[in-house]
Amino acid sequence: MCGIFGFQGFSEPGLLRRMADIMHHRGPDGEGFFEHGDYSMGMRRLSIIDLEAGDQPIFNEDHSLVVCFNGEIYNYVELTKDLKAKGHIFRTHGDTETIVHAYEQWGMDFLGKLNGMFVLALYDRRRGELIIARDRAGQKPLYYYHDHGRFLFASEVKSILESQHIERACNINAIDSYLGLRYTPQPQTMFKDISVLPAAHYLRLANGQADIQRYWDIQVPAVPPRLSRADCLAAFDETFTAAVRLTLRADVPVGAYLSAGIDSSLVVGKMREFSNNIKTFSLGFDSPIDELPEARALAARFGCDHHEVVCVPDDLGLLPKVLWHLERPIGDVLVLAYYKLAEAAAQHVKVVLSGEGADELFAGYSFHKIIRWTDTWQRLVPGVLRRNLALPILEALPVSVLNKLFNYPAYLGNKGKARVIEYLRHFGDRSLAQNYVYLRTLWECNERRDVYTDRYRCLATEALVKESATASGPLLERLLRLHFDDWLQDNLLLRQDKNTMAHSLEMRAPFLDHKLIELAFQMPPGMKIRGLTDKYIERLYAKGVLPPDSVKRAKNPFYFPLEFFYNNPRAKELVAMTLNESSVKNRGYFKYEYVKYLKDKMDAREFVYLKQVYSLVMLELWHMVFIDKQRLW
């Protein structure tokens, strides 16, 4: 695990050194550099495998190929054996060297041979050609700038910003996506002219021209496959077990994040089959929604060395530093909690396993069920009954009753109730992607138009998520594919990478083994949602791994309890610093009158208002840290 960086097409003395230094946190154990003509690249190393001889860059036998690499190739042992049998000579015992030899042997098809999480930069000295590539699920980020004959790439944007040729400016067009989605969808970033290489893609740079191609994709069957429950269980067992075994490969201690949910519990339960010495880490907020007792009990049952982290209101003061590591605003203060969790885990281990990705594969979010139910309701209940009976009944229900219908621990409030009614009323008028966004957005399109100043009202758009992935197949599979390409890659994995690497910690996600991803999309929808039960296949499998209460426990959404934090002096100070009249008007994006209205509504303790305010706080903090270059920590 490390950070990589490089540039081509120009000369800038000292740039390579600065690009390395700004990412020291990604790899404090070592560094390496390579320069050839107008091409330069380097890396920072976090030693996980082959601690003594795994320094990069790494070459092939005749030094015609050189690679810098960030991530882990979990099947490197099998690949090395195969490549040695074909005559390739290895000088190290790690995973990086498999890349150059695999490229020699199979050309661009080598990417399909890799099982892991990675970004890599492979330079062919003979051709003067650069190849950069990113893993299938997008677990490791890679950014690039390409303009005026200059090409720069890095694991973090701040490394690219070290060049005197890069303008430090906001990508104005990304603001609406941020408000609507809580993050910026790839390939754009919040930085002008800096892009993300999409997951499962490679970029080939030759003669100053960049060609980007996809090398892997999820196939959604047009007709649900007819697999029996027994077949699904057997396939899940084989694939999941292999994924956990592979992600445990390391020459350093490996721990795990453990909540009370079924995903991380299954990971720890499976780890227990291969190790008797597991350190686990759980997070809480010292609030009524905490699940720390349940996680503690499960860790004790498995005999884990368990550690708990509590996030408190004063921790809000860390947000500027967290944003410096994230490099983008994410409209959810929960990123702070993940930062604290990673900080604690890094004091004990260098690697943690996580249950990340399972919800996107096996339908673990409440909105997966809600969209399916609404679609069925729309098809089976005549429109006149929906309009004249069902909706009026919902409108008449007290918020307290409606709140109990949703598996969310925060208070829905009148604002949330109005959203639900509006969602149901216009479900049939929207596409799948639009309903998907509407059900999760903090800011409806009309609200975004209202909050913008006249100059920026034109930014507001309904088209926030691509619909190409939703064209065919069962509704649930189309929804999961959409969720996999969007929420998982652009939000969850990025925040995990940046928060763990801020503390030189590597996070691995067994559920994102590409073989398990492919298996999930070949399973019938009924193996994911059956009646009121989500993640049905996981719960079936868990009966042989977990105690009964863990199998039955419904998913409790992991969220930051702003209603318990917002009145804390540190929280008020943060809002006052970022959303005062002078700051809002000077930035120019939003009407201060509307922002003030939202701040006044915080006392209602409704989660929509609270989250809207803090999404604006995060956006302004990002501007202060990256555009204004203020040191706020």
Q: What is the pLDDT of residues 2-54, one digit of tens each?
A: 899 999 999 999 999 999 999 999 998 889 999 999 999 999 987 766 555 55
**Model confidence band, residue 556 (pLDDT cutoffs 50, 70, 90):** low
Reading the block at residue 163, the tokens are 């060049």
Q: Examine the pLDDT at 557 and tell me if it is beyond 80.
A: no
Label residue 122 left, alpha or beta by phi (over 0 means left) and psi (-120 to 50 means alpha). beta
Residue 544, φ and ψ in degrees, nearest 5: -95, 0
Look at the alpha carbons of 171, 466, 361, 219 in this order and tell me if their dihedral is positive or negative.
Answer: negative
Distance CA 420, CA 595 (A): 23
Question: What's this model's pTM, rounded to 2 decimal places?
Answer: 0.93
* The two domains 2-214 and 229-363+477-552 share their CATH topology (first three levels equal): no
What class, spelled out in words, does domain 2-214 have in CATH? alpha beta
- The H or E element spanning position 595 is helix 592-601
| Cβ atoms 120, 114 nearer than 8 A | no
Q: What is the pLDDT of residues 385-426, one digit of tens each?
A: 777 777 777 777 676 656 655 555 555 666 777 777 788 888
Distance CA 153, CA 4 (A): 8
User: What pairing do the DSSP bridges indicate for beta strands 254-257 and 279-284?
Assistant: parallel
Distance CA 373, CA 577 (A): 43
Considering 2, 232, 304, 445, which one is annotated as catalytic?
2
Residue 533, φ and ψ in degrees, nearest 5: -95, 125
Q: What is the pLDDT of residues 132-180, one digit of tens each?
A: 999 999 999 999 999 989 999 999 999 999 999 999 999 999 999 999 9
Beta strands in 101-171 (DSSP E): 116-124, 129-134, 143-147, 150-154
Extents of the domains making up the chain: 2-214, 229-363+477-552, 366-473, 562-627
Q: Which of 306, 298, 332, 178 is nearest to 542 (CA)?
A: 298
| Cβ atoms 266, 545 nearer than 8 A | yes
Distance CA 73, CA 562 (A): 39
Indicate if 458 belongs to the active site: no
The strand order across the sheet containing 143-147 reads 30-36, 39-45, 2-8, 150-154, 143-147, 195-196
**Model confidence band, residue 586 (pLDDT cutoffs 50, 70, 90):** very high
Q: Give me the pLDDT at residue 468, please.
A: 60
Most confident of 162-166, 222-226, 469-473, 609-613: 162-166
Q: Which of 613, 623, 616, 333 is nearest to 499 (CA)?
A: 333
Give the CATH number of domain 229-363+477-552; options: 3.30.70.330, 3.40.50.620, 3.20.20.70, 3.60.20.30.
Answer: 3.40.50.620
